[in-house]
């Protein structure tokens, strides 16, 4: 059996284990460990390789950014930022047709700027906005659909844990990945708002208008969301801004890891100042961050073991060579990869998809000619992969965000959520087509700033 054949068999067995509800990190670790044992032929060599791999994985300084951004999201969730964001957006947009649903999208985008987690954004904003939308007469389908879709902005609008993991895996600049995600993230929010506007006109009874608030009242609620703007500006400005005037010879004020620490501290201070973060919620934030970090690190370690096995088999290089010899058009290969993400998204979470596929797909992307530099192609593909992974979070029947929102509105049939989210899936697919056709939309801001 060749290395490529062994890798394909191992991949199939790993997917089978995942479908049988084996934890994804465990499935990747077990498959990679056994596969490495077969390739090396000696258990002692395999165990020695595991020892080195374990240390190399968990001693990585780059990974410290993950729990810091998760802690930042926990503090933001507990501090009451979500309610202030939704109230401000509702006051400014609520008088429009379907405006409260548009406000929910805007609030999800704002919360995603200080959270970095799709599931946390969907859960938190669902608890804040769903009761309000139902009270104002919005249909259950639109209410749950827009919140499930809006929750995906949590991983697209930086800072994003998934983007950090992608950057580490592909050895890309984290700051450039964050900058590249800004315009696609804003396009996503605009697309969702446009979808709401079309939805309420096609189904007039699904999204009523609210009373127009006086400008003084709107300004008052707008002032309450200044901490979100300040924290986002502090984190992104600190890691991506030009600070030569402040520290000669140093462009960035701090590294991405330092920026994550500053963001967590700033969010925590805001929570304490507003009373939303007390001793009990602080301990809960630390515990939940530790649990989420442990889960992520287990998946990362399992992926590293499996990727090490793939490296021994030289399967990624063999697949890249095969694609080259077949003469497929680069866009054809790219579209096939994106379709794979859509299929995987029906049964897997976003982090697992990225960790599982990037070691296989990325070597192929590196050798394809898209008319871009290697770095530009890596950044562009990373954003596209993130967007399609995000679509998987709201794709029936197993989109994670759909079940998160359904848990918030337990009396709403999941079938209504499925119907409500489909227009937003269509909006996402249109956005993917646009970004595939015009890579400059993703890369323009990176080119301006670097």
Question: Residue 1 has what pLDDT?
Answer: 67
Mean pLDDT for 284-300 is: 87
Under 8 Å between Cβ of 159 and 260:
yes
Question: Residue 248 has what pLDDT?
Answer: 53
CA distances from 186 to 105, 146, 191, 234, 238 (A): 11, 16, 8, 19, 21
Mean pLDDT for 58-82 is: 83
pLDDT at residue 252 is higher than 80: no
* 158: its two tokens: 């930086």
pLDDT at residue 15 is higher than 60: yes
Give 316's pLDDT tier (boundaries 50, 70, 90): confident
Give 184's pLDDT tier (boundaries 50, 70, 90): very high
Q: How many domains does the chain have?
A: 1
Give 431's pLDDT tier (boundaries 50, 70, 90): very high
Cα–Cα nearest to 392, from 119, 183, 131, 139: 119
Question: Residue 435 has what pLDDT?
Answer: 94
User: Helix or strand or coil: residue 94?
Assistant: coil
Gap between the Cα atoms of 439 and 81, Å rounded: 34
∠ CA(126), CA(352), CA(172), 5° rounding?
100
Per-residue pLDDT tens digits for 187-233:
999 999 999 999 998 888 887 877 788 888 888 887 778 888 888 88
Instruction: Please provide residue 294's backbone torsions phi and psi, each rounded to the nearest 5 degrees.
Output: -60, -40
**Distance from the first to the final alpha carbon of the chain:** 47
Mean pLDDT for 365-374 is: 87
∠ CA(62), CA(115), CA(273), 5° rounding?
110
Mean pLDDT for 77-99 is: 82
Q: At what angle do helices 374-392 and 161-170 cross, to 10 degrees?
A: 140
Under 8 Å between Cβ of 157 and 105:
no
Eight-class DSSP state of 212: P
pLDDT at residue 57 is higher than 60: yes
Q: What is the per-residue burial (b if ≥16 Cβ within 10 Å, else e) of 143-169?
A: bbbbbbbbbbbbbbbbbbbbbbbbbbb
Question: Residue 64 has what pLDDT?
Answer: 85
Question: Residue 423 has what pLDDT?
Answer: 93
Q: Give me the chain's average pLDDT, please.
A: 84
User: Helix or strand or coil: residue 207?
Assistant: coil
Q: At what angle do helices 99-115 and 140-151 cross, to 10 degrees?
A: 20
Q: Which domain holds residue 197?
A: 3-449
């Amino acid at each position: 059996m060749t290395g490529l054949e062994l890798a394909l068999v191992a991949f199939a067995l790993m997917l089978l284990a995942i479908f049988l509800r084996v934890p994804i990190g465990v499935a990747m670790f077990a498959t990679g460990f056994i596969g490495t044992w077969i390739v090396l032929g000696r258990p002692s060599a395999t165990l020695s390789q595991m020892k080195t791999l374990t240390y190399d994985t968990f001693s990585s300084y780059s990974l410290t950014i993950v729990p810091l951004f998760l802690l930042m999201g926990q503090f933001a969730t507990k501090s009451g930022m979500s309610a202030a964001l939704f109230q401000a957006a509702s006051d400014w947009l609520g008088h429009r047709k379907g405006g409260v649903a548009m406000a929910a999208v805007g609030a999800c985008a704002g919360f995603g700027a200080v959270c970095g987690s799709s599931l946390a954004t969907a859960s938190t904003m669902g608890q804040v906005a769903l009761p309000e939308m139902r009270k104002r007469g919005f249909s259950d389908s639109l209410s749950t659909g827009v919140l499930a879709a809006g929750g995906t902005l949590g991983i697209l609008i930086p800072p994003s844990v998934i983007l950090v993991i992608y950057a580490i895996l592909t050895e890309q600049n984290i700051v450039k990945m964050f900058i590249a995600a800004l315009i696609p993230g804003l396009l996503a929010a605009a697309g969702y708002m446009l979808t709401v506007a079309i939805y309420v006109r096609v189904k007039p009874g699904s999204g009523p208008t609210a009373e127009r608030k006086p400008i003084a009242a709107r300004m008052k609620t707008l002032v309450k969301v200044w901490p979100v703007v300040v924290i986002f500006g502090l984190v992104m400005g600190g890691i991506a801004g030009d600070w030569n005037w402040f520290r000669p010879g140093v462009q960035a004020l701090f590294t991405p890891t330092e920026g994550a620490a500053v963001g967590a501290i700033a969010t925590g201070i805001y929570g304490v100042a507003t009373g939303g973060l007390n001793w009990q919620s602080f301990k809960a934030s630390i515990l939940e961050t530790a649990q989420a970090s442990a889960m992520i690190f287990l998946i990362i370690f399992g992926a590293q073991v499996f990727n090490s096995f793939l490296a021994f088999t030289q399967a990624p290089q063999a697949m890249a060579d095969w694609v080259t010899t077949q003469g497929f058009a680069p866009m054809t290969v790219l579209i096939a990869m994106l379709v794979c993400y859509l299929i995987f998204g029906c049964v897997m979470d976003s982090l697992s998809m990225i960790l599982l596929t990037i070691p296989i797909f990325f070597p192929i992307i590196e050798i394809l000619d898209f008319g871009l530099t290697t770095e530009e192609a890596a950044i562009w593909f990373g954003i596209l992969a993130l967007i399609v992974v995000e679509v998987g979070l709201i794709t029936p029947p197993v989109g994670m965000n759909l079940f998160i929102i359904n848990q918030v509105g337990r009396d709403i049939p999941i079938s209504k959520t499925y119907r409500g989210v489909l227009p937003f899936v269509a909006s996402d697919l249109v956005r993917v087509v646009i970004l595939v056709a015009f890579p400059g939309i993703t890369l323009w801001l990176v080119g301006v700033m670097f």
